[in-house]
Amino acid sequence: MGAIQGKVTDASGASIFGAVVTIQGTEGDSHLTVTDGDGGFQIAGLTPGKYNVKISASGLSDWTASSVPAANTPESKPLLAVMQVVPNVTSVTVGLSPEEKAQEQVKQELQQQVLGVIPNYFVAYENNAAPLSLSQKFHLSFKTLIAPATFAAVGLTAGIQQIRNSYWQFGQGTKGYAQRFGADYGTSATNLLITSVLADAVLHQDPRYFYSGQGTKKQRAWYAIKSAFLSKGDNGKWQPAYAGLAGTIAASELSNLYDPGSRTQYTLLGRGLMFHFAGLIGLNLGEEFLLKRVTSHVPEEAAAQPTVLREGIPVMLVAVDGFSGQGLTAGQTVTFVLAQDLMQSGKVLARTGDVASGLVAQVNSGNTTGGAGSVALKDVMLRAGNVTVPLRSSQTRGESTPMHYKELPGSGKIEVTLFVAANVAFPQQE
């Protein structure tokens, strides 16, 4: 029978204690051990042949070697594994300029339609939306004005006015309906263009509603109501809605030129402002609580959710200090290293070689080499980067079943299996 032995150091030549050594045979057989205080390791009892060796340690890059022969002579030259510190990788993200980002947002927003029919262009669902240029504000407004749903809404309004004989001076019949349609469409166009293009451009305000979706229902409702009286400036700060106010006043003044009747200027202004702000409050509440659900092409949530390591997942560990088949005592501190990567949803949350430690509570040794004994541990914590994972002996919460351990063949090291004691959230890595 053969053996593979060696020594593990860092770049300075210092021995690495507790590095996990995995030896994989061509037939799929795997052997495991950890390095001792001098960085040495040995796995004996191997079938003669070639093996792949992988060595892992916390904070260091993995070291690998392939086609390593299992030597059967004591004088065979041992492996020397020199492990390097994991490099700090600085990622540089080349993103879009604010103008390019705004253009991409406009393309996205022009696809937003309620029930696939009604334009919902003036809503920004993305966080930190880029400010719009004058041409982009005009583009959103123009696309809204020529949308079939806009003509349908104006036509319906003109029809209701004709049935009620509003603006009786227009008369009835086709001519009367056409005049009502033209007046209503003109009021909508002047209000939209003056508010969302001219006034917003001059005052540097954004005509869109910025969807929140955050907080309680009460907080979201209050945000929607406030947004009727506030606009986000192109500088990203909230401001009084000067542009909306100016546009409403201007549209009311212009409508006085073509809407017949004896209403005074103040009546027109009062009605215009009332309908403007009441309509905005109702629309904003709808956007915040309802319309997103029935709007097509809403962008996906940008916020990354943390990955949760679920309670009860088994964790394989190898003892490196204070743990052996004999001589354990209650209250003794024991140290382990993770025997294999700990993964959840395809992501590595803890790397082979990460360190765990805890206290011995009770011991029941196995009777034979390679046989399983049991030991009760408490306060065991696995350090996975900046996250601490609590571990327990039993997979079932509340049970005090002792943890089983066994001696690894060929190395004499002790392997244990613990379980994640509670759900642990791992922040999303960028």
Q: Looking at the structure, do residues 72 and 41 belong to the same domain, yes or no?
A: yes
Asked if the structure places residue 176 within a domain, the reply is: yes
Domain boundary among 33, 57, 83: 83
User: Hunting for tokens 């792949």 — which residue is that?
Assistant: 52
Query: Alpha helices, DSSP H only, in 124-216?
Result: 134-145, 148-164, 173-193, 200-203
CATH code at position 401:
2.40.128
For the record, the structure tokens of 342 come out as 């700990």
Render pLDDT for 295-327 as a digit per residue (tens, 0 to 9).
998 887 644 567 888 888 999 999 887 666 556
Q: Looking at the structure, do residues 19 and 117 belong to the same domain, yes or no?
A: no
Average pLDDT, the chain: 83
Q: Is the pLDDT of residue 266 over 80?
A: no
Asked if the structure places residue 155 within a domain, the reply is: yes
Asked if the structure places residue 144 within a domain, the reply is: yes
Q: Looking at the structure, do residues 149 and 263 belong to the same domain, yes or no?
A: yes
DSSP-assigned states of every residue in 178-189: HHHHHHHHHHHH
Domain boundary among 294, 325, 360: 294
Domain boundary among 20, 52, 83: 83
Distance CA 295, CA 206 (A): 21
Q: Looking at the structure, do residues 252 and 373 belong to the same domain, yes or no?
A: no
Dihedral pair phi/psi, residue 140, rounded to 5°: -60, -40
Render pLDDT for 323-342 as a digit per residue (tens, 0 to 9).
665 566 778 888 999 998 88
Asked if the structure places residue 21 within a domain, the reply is: yes
Asked if the structure places residue 304 within a domain, the reply is: no
Lowest mean pLDDT among 142-151, 233-242, 302-311: 302-311
Distance CA 234, CA 136 (A): 13
In the three-class reduction of DSSP (H, G, I as helix; E, B as strand; rest coil), residue 237 is classed as coil
Q: Looking at the structure, do residues 166 and 289 belong to the same domain, yes or no?
A: yes
Confidence of residue 367 (pLDDT cuts 50, 70, 90): very low
Domains in the chain: how many in total? 3
Structural domain boundaries enclosing 44: 2-83
